[in-house]
Amino acid sequence: MTIEPAYVSRKEAAVYLGVTVRWLANEGRRVVPAHRFGGQIRYALEELKAWAKQQRVCFA
């Protein structure tokens, strides 16, 4: 049985979103929802999925 983590690191979140860790740390901190646990930033997978879905653009 494998358990999918509810929260991922900044590096894992960057890979999931297809952005650089640097972008996520600098620009993404204003728009991508994150949580602080102790001194570490973590991203909830469900929130990452919802945020990514909201970024959809249509090219007509």
pLDDT tens digit string along 37-57?
999 999 999 999 999 999 988
**The model's pTM:** 0.84
Note the pLDDT tens digit of each residue in 13-38.
999 999 999 999 999 999 999 999 99
Do 52 and 17 form a contact (C-beta atoms < 8 A)?
yes
* Whole-number pLDDT of residue 16: 95
Q: Evaluate if residue 4 carries a pLDDT over 90.
A: no
The residues, any chain, with a CB within 8 Å of residue 27's CB and separated by 6 or more, are: none
* Whole-number pLDDT of residue 2: 76
